[in-house]
Structure 1
Amino acid sequence: MNTQVRTALVSTAGHCKVACGFCFRADRAHGFLDTATYTRTLSRLREAGVEGVCLTGGEPTHHPQLRQLVRLAHQFGLSVSMVTSARTVAEVIALSHVDHLLANVTVSADSQGAMLMGRTTRTAASGIETLRAISTETKILHVTCWGLGDDECRELAALVSEAGVEVQFSPVVLDERALRRDGKSVQDYLVQHRLDADLLGRYFHLSERYRAYLGELRDLQLPPAGGERWSCRSATAYVSADGHIRRCPYGEASVSVHTSRATIGQFLTSPAQDHVTPDCAAICRPSAESDDRTTSCTTPA
């Protein structure tokens, strides 16, 4: 299947101070994406027909030249969005300096159970406070869910309604190693997904797309005997902080932005060779306006 690449996730930093216990970032390193590499990346993406970029991390508000990153994308005619965990005063100030230039901002948060599992402090309430502080027209709260309770869902629904922001949900995605560490079986894990979705459905309208995604995760975790994982169908490319482009964040095939135009163009327009895994299925989902599953530019920050 040949899917035209329309958007790109751009990692602005190889490190992240949040360090979620359930993080499934594809790469980790020290340092920030430099502007020369980024500028060349934007040029090559635009030539390949990419229409927008999403700045992700690490944490994009930590980049010392964040405003320049956003303005450079606009100079190439690309729309810009951002995924952030911004909570501190310094992070929110950095975000507010570019908020009017962003098509949308997604602030990551975790349910109480997910915070315990991931050892994070990204509450939904603090995420909404960040969204209240910025002027971007489209504001999205993205909640990673695990072990939800009725009171928690009720409070979350009230917070979202009062703030007037969009909300999107993702279940915690664990690999086999993490499941063994937590003493859970794949079946336990999938049952919790269903229980959380059923509870969310009491307070939010969960689209069929979201439920279909849960079904995809089930099929990826428990594939039929002899079955093969399906090929990548994402319209989103991934750019690492060191300037390598992949069709899938976890794909082995990559191309450096410093190689030739022809090589990059062929890489982005040829059918993807990667196969879908639970991790990349959580990142690369089809876009849907006002949908309750994450958009194609959204990854936990």
Structure 2
Amino acid sequence: MDWDAVRVRLIPQLLAARVSRVTLTGGEPTMHPGLLPIAASFREAGMSVGVCTNAVVLSDEQITMLAKLEAHLNVSLDGFSADSHGVFRGRPAAFAETVENVKRAAKAGILQGLLCTPNNLAQDEEYAELCRFAKEQGATYVLLNPLGEMGRGAAPGAQKLRRPDDHMRNIARLTLPFAADLDVVHIRFPNDDKPLSGCEAGTIIYVFTKGEVTVCPYLVFAARTRVSQHPDTDFIVGNVWEHDDIAARLDAYRFHERWKVGDNPTCGGCSLNASCGKGCPAAVVAAGERIGAVDTEQCPVVPRQSRMLPVVGAS
């Protein structure tokens, strides 16, 4: 995104839409020449700023300036060795670089959390080491999100790198003890008995670099998979570079009035119905169903043999 366009066009529309917190992501935002002035512009508008980064090329200037801006970093770390994180990222040296830069960010007081995609290149115990490292560096959370058919999971062969369900359960067991010191978030781990969470579409919006504004990026990613029955325009409210009324479009969208999650006989007759949020509609869309169908990969009630491959990947 062009810095001037962000300042002149994007920020006023986000303010009108009552946005108070912004996360800059990519791609790799630390490679964008306008990262610091863009972050400064958001802060001048009164918004808090976070940056999601792989931290490989994070510079001293960026750390210093982000600290002055009272911004924070969320860093991707997908294992705790060069043979896991480094290979997963395509360059073994990336592990040492990321770890060193996480330490530098922590020392500057701008490290917020670690974002992790468990994968078959890592041993289960590495995720406990990763949580221990996060605790030592003063992070507030570790978010673990398995590979799927959206995001990184859309790459050819990515499903071969997905950690099997029994290992995901073991990773949950190994990392839960750190919950006393960290917010350890397990996204779409195997679920055997819990009601599903609800959908937050519309409360966390996403702006693509080409200007499309969506109520949920995962719904757009899902709609762009080959089996989707929904066009991506079902979830895009407008384009910030073309439309002047993005705030009004967001207010008028009302996801849960347009689409009824869990609108199927299985959910309707389920004993968990009243307490269940029906899961992720993006997962339903990516599985080739219309919104309203069962989120079968997470539902603890549907027969296990009918469950589909996981569909929501890490950002």
TM range (shorter): 0.5 to 0.7
TM-score of the aligned structures, taking structure 1 as reference length = 0.63
Return closer, same or farther for 1:74/1:197 CA change in 2, 3 Å cut-off. same
Match of 1:256 among 201, 224, 239: 239
Deviations 1:245-269 (A, max 9, x none): 111224213311133433x123211
C-alpha deviation, 1:123, in angstroms? 6.2
Give the distance between the partners of 1:145 and 1:58, measured in 2 at CA: 20
Other-structure match for 1:77: 46
Deviations 1:54-101 (A, max 9, x none): 11111111111222101111222211111111223x645434332321
Report 1:85-234 matches (<5 A). Answer: 85-88=54-57, 91-111=59-79, 112=81, 113=84, 115-117=86-88, 119-121=90-92, 126-134=97-105, 135-147=108-120, 148-149=122-123, 151-153=125-127, 155-175=129-149, 181=157, 189-201=164-176, 210=185, 213-214=188-189, 233=201
Aligned-residue Cα RMSD (Å) equals 4.1
TM-score of the aligned structures, taking structure 2 as reference length = 0.61
Gaps of 5+ in 2: 221-231, 260-279, 287-313
Deviations 1:254-297 (A, max 9, x none): 311133433x123211213587324999xxxxxxxxxxxxxxxx
1:79–1:103: 8 Å Cα contact kept in structure 2? yes
Residues 1:52 and 2:21 are matched in the alignment: yes
Task: Count residues with an aligned counterpart.
Answer: 240
Aligned residue for 2:18, secondary structure, equals coil
2:143–2:187: 8 Å Cα contact kept in structure 1? no
The letter for the 2-side match of 1:131 is V
1:84–1:107: 8 Å Cα contact kept in structure 2? yes
Give the distance between the partners of 2:95 and 2:131, measured in 1 at CA: 10
Return closer, same or farther for 1:117/1:74 CA change in 2, 3 Å cut-off. closer
1:217–1:278: 8 Å Cα contact kept in structure 2? no
2:55–2:97: 8 Å Cα contact kept in structure 1? no
Gaps of 5+ in 1: 1-32, 224-229, 282-298
Other-structure match for 1:265: 247
Aligned residue for 1:96, secondary structure, equals helix
Match of 1:62 among 31, 34, 39: 31
Structure with greater Cα Rg: 2
Return closer, same or farther for 1:200/1:122 CA change in 2, 3 Å cut-off. farther
The letter for the 1-side match of 2:103 is R
